[in-house]
Chains A and B, each alone.
Chain A
Amino acid sequence: MKKILLILLLILCTGCYDYNELNEIAIISGVGIDKLNNEYVVTYEVINTEASKESSNDIKKYNVKGNGGSLSEAFNNVNETLAKKAYFEQIKVMVITKNVNILDISDYLFRNEKINTNFYLVLCNDIDEIFDFTSVNEPNNSIAIYNLLKQNDYANITNLFDLKINTLIEGYDISLPLITLDNELSLKTIGIYNNNKFIRYLNDNEYRIYKYLSNKKDILINSNDNSIKIYNSKLNYNLENNSITLKYEAKAEINSLNISYDLRDINSYNELSNEFTTVTENEITNFIKQLQIDNSDILNILNKYKLKYPDSSITFKDLTINYDINVKVDKAGTAFKEVK
């Protein structure tokens, strides 16, 4: 009798209050947050669980929108518009505009037990444009953005929302990828911040430099119509005598040649390595100088410096950075001479 009572109690007393049928919940795959005229505008991208997989005519997702003076008010207003119970566990991305102060929205997102903060924060210029778009490849835009992030080596633990906020809390600068609509959703650059304040978007060339400094692979460097592709790179910082030296070492493969080189000769590789080392050094120096003008330390250079010299009051703008760049071209591809 006791055992039966025990089993009954265990079955009856746990979980029933929080029980939800799958078709009674609105699975949110992405959230958009904008701030317009001192009001938060929140958009949910909701997966349509009623849609059948076979039928291409069925709407696979729909958007719900609401606004409010505070973020929690805006979220509440959207939840009220939903006919189902909002389910935030499957959020892949959160799309914000540059008007949104990231730390202002963090407290609500951290505190709300229903929101799983394991998502990626991305920037866009117009949330409606992004969420209203329907791609042929992937009907759900949040998943399409997530796939883009994966494709660009961005979807890793260090870029999760929690850890981005941690960087901000510790007083450092962050960067966020910009999602644009160019026939398809695309990721072409990043937005840089000075702590919590949006500064600007990087141009194409700066974004390319940023990518190879972030140890991304297959990044092109061009010089005199020759181009190489970095396949392995390492960025280190040497700290000695109150100065910081940025040490960048890369190994590259020739991508295309427009000048006569005999790649059977080892000297050709040395010449190319010297040429591209000079080009890369100029690119990196100019890029970091521009970042110093913008006062946006997205490479965490000051952080490294302060870890060694915590009492120093120097700012990123005033930091003197030395460079030690070495690009080694050591792969010729499948041709020994230029094809002309």
Chain B
Amino acid sequence: MTSSRVQSILAFTLSRCLYFGLGISFIINKGKNLSILACLIGFIIGYFILRYITNKDFKSFSNSLLGKIIIVFLCIYITNYTLIAFTILASNYYLTNTPTYFIAIPLFIVILYGVKCGFPTITRLSELLIIISVFIFIIISISIFVNIRIDNYLPMILKIDINFIECIISTIVYSITPNILLLYIVKDYNKNAILKGYIFGSLSIFLTIIGIIGVLGSNLASIYRYPEYKLLQQINILNFLEKQETFFALIWFIDLLITSLISQYIISTIFKNKYNTIALIIVIISLIFFINNYQNALFIYNNTNYILLIPLIIFLFIKSKKTKSL
């Protein structure tokens, strides 16, 4: 039985996981200054969607073939995304000469090892890492928010166009869809615990977007591949602790690690003995067709919101239908 605290922690992490290298950059580029408002609307709508979903019981649907297909697809997609986000950032900023294989494979080995240790180990790890995550987030918030310039938020003229709508939809998808994995893995989930985790996760992303636009401005933020990482580069604590972005980026790596551990653990429970082969196929496909192929990596960047909207809609639709029949 998974405790409410662990469920909140996992919901917090999963609500944030798709924003690094993807969600934040995509939303700011589309929404510019209005992305703050779009995110707020998206998070509020997302809250009601998650509340609706968590009212349902997924036990029987999870055991159905369609349910398993959707879950496996989600797990593979999210693992692939985490590997791309981690490897591209590492190869851009840290290990510029190292082949991407040598960055992605050790990470995947860690994931495999975590999966072998089992779900209790993953939850214990997330309980430990969340403390570091929260600690870093508080330091970042304090040091960044003093550097915010109000002018960067202006002009914020409400213009409801396709980009604004896309920002709202993307926010909902990025923060809700990964939580489906939690509803699958934790059979006796606590609705309030998950919603609590979602609220804190969304709030942290919302504050991050406010920080990015307030410090960098939406134009500059949309130029960067990783605006959230560039924000970390601006941190200067009391004029002596600077250039600590490598350490502060841990907050994002923790999200990616826990998310990929959960995704892979779910695949291991579905495929059981064949898991090693499946895991090998996933990492090979990810390396050859996505990490080392910029067109496909860009496809993921541009279309994740629509691709992950499909399983979300199916989940909503199937569940509604089933409730009616009952």
Also in contact, A166 and B217, with CB within 8 A (given A6-B113, A9-B109, A303-B151): yes
Whether the pair B243, A116 counts as a contact (CB closer than 8 A) is yes
Also in contact, A157 and B95, with CB within 8 A (given A10-B106, A170-B217): no
The CA of A69 and the CA of B105, in the complex, are separated in Å by: 41
The CA of A169 and the CA of B233, in the complex, are separated in Å by: 20
Minimum distance in angstroms from B24 CB to a CB of chain A:
17
Minimum distance in angstroms from B240 CB to a CB of chain A:
12
The residues in B between 62 and 114 inclusive whose CB is less than 8 angstroms from any CB of A are: 92-99, 102-103, 105-106, 109-110, 113
Give A residues with C-beta under 8 Å from B: 6, 9-10, 13-18, 89, 110, 113-114, 116-118, 157-158, 160, 162-163, 165-166, 169-170, 300, 303-304, 306-307, 310
Whether the pair A6, B109 counts as a contact (CB closer than 8 A) is yes
Whether the pair B147, A157 counts as a contact (CB closer than 8 A) is yes
Q: Hey, which chain B residues are within 8 Å of A110, CB to CB?
A: 223-224
Whether the pair B243, A162 counts as a contact (CB closer than 8 A) is no
Contact among B93, B95, B216, B223 for A17, CB-based, below 8 A: B95
The residues in B between 220 and 236 inclusive whose CB is less than 8 angstroms from any CB of A are: 220, 223-224, 230, 233-234, 236
Residue B51 interfacial (CB < 8 Å): no
**From A17, which residue of chain B is reached at the shortest CB distance?**
B98
Residue B157 interfacial (CB < 8 Å): yes
- Count, A-B residue pairs, CB within 8 A: 76
Residue B215 interfacial (CB < 8 Å): yes
The CA of A113 and the CA of B96, in the complex, are separated in Å by: 8
Whether the pair B220, A165 counts as a contact (CB closer than 8 A) is yes
The CA of A160 and the CA of B231, in the complex, are separated in Å by: 13
Q: Hey, which chain B residues are within 8 Å of A160, CB to CB?
A: 234
The CA of A116 and the CA of B232, in the complex, are separated in Å by: 12
Taking residues whose C-beta sits less than 8 angstroms from the other chain, chain B's interface range is 20 to 34
The CA of A25 and the CA of B217, in the complex, are separated in Å by: 34
Interchain residue pairs with CB less than 8 A apart (25): A9-B105, A9-B106, A10-B106, A10-B109, A13-B102, A14-B103, A15-B95, A17-B99, A18-B95, A18-B97, A18-B98, A110-B223, A110-B224, A118-B234, A118-B242, A118-B243, A158-B147, A162-B216, A162-B220, A163-B216, A163-B217, A165-B220, A166-B216, A166-B217, A169-B223
Q: Hey, which chain B residues are within 8 Å of A165, CB to CB?
A: 220
Also in contact, A157 and B106, with CB within 8 A (given A113-B96, A165-B220, A169-B219): no
Whether the pair B219, A116 counts as a contact (CB closer than 8 A) is no
Residue B149 interfacial (CB < 8 Å): yes
Residue B237 interfacial (CB < 8 Å): no
- Not counting A157-B234, A165-B220, a sample of 20 additional A-B residue pairs whose C-beta atoms are within 8 angstroms of each other reads A14-B98, A14-B106, A17-B98, A17-B102, A18-B94, A18-B98, A89-B243, A110-B224, A113-B92, A113-B93, A116-B233, A157-B215, A158-B147, A162-B230, A162-B234, A166-B217, A166-B219, A166-B220, A304-B151, A307-B155
Minimum distance in angstroms from A90 CB to a CB of chain B:
9
Q: Hey, which chain A residues are within 8 Å of B284, CB to CB?
A: none
Q: Hey, which chain A residues are within 8 Å of B234, CB to CB?
A: 118, 157, 160, 162
Tell me if A's interface is mostly helix, strand, loop or mixed: helix
Whether the pair B109, A18 counts as a contact (CB closer than 8 A) is no
Residue B125 interfacial (CB < 8 Å): no
Q: Hey, which chain B residues are within 8 Å of A157, CB to CB?
A: 147, 215, 234, 236
The CA of A15 and the CA of B233, in the complex, are separated in Å by: 21
Q: Hey, which chain A residues are within 8 Å of B98, CB to CB?
A: 14-18
Residue B314 interfacial (CB < 8 Å): no
Residue B186 interfacial (CB < 8 Å): no
Whether the pair B97, A310 counts as a contact (CB closer than 8 A) is no
The CA of A24 and the CA of B144, in the complex, are separated in Å by: 35
Minimum distance in angstroms from B216 CB to a CB of chain A:
7
Among all A-B residue pairs, the 5 with the closest Cβ atoms: A17-B98, A166-B220, A307-B154, A17-B97, A157-B147
Whether the pair B157, A310 counts as a contact (CB closer than 8 A) is yes
Q: Hey, which chain A residues are within 8 Å of B92, CB to CB?
A: 113
**From B156, which residue of chain A is reached at the shortest CB distance?**
A307
Contact among A9, A89, A158, A310 for B149, CB-based, below 8 A: A158
**From B90, which residue of chain A is reached at the shortest CB distance?**
A14
The CA of A166 and the CA of B230, in the complex, are separated in Å by: 13
**From B91, which residue of chain A is reached at the shortest CB distance?**
A113
Q: Hey, which chain A residues are within 8 Å of B97, CB to CB?
A: 17-18
Q: Hey, which chain A residues are within 8 Å of B99, CB to CB?
A: 17
Minimum distance in angstroms from B270 CB to a CB of chain A:
23
Whether the pair B95, A14 counts as a contact (CB closer than 8 A) is yes
Whether the pair B215, A170 counts as a contact (CB closer than 8 A) is no
The CA of A118 and the CA of B245, in the complex, are separated in Å by: 12
Q: Hey, which chain A residues are within 8 Å of B223, CB to CB?
A: 110, 169
Contact among B102, B155, B220, B242 for A163, CB-based, below 8 A: B220
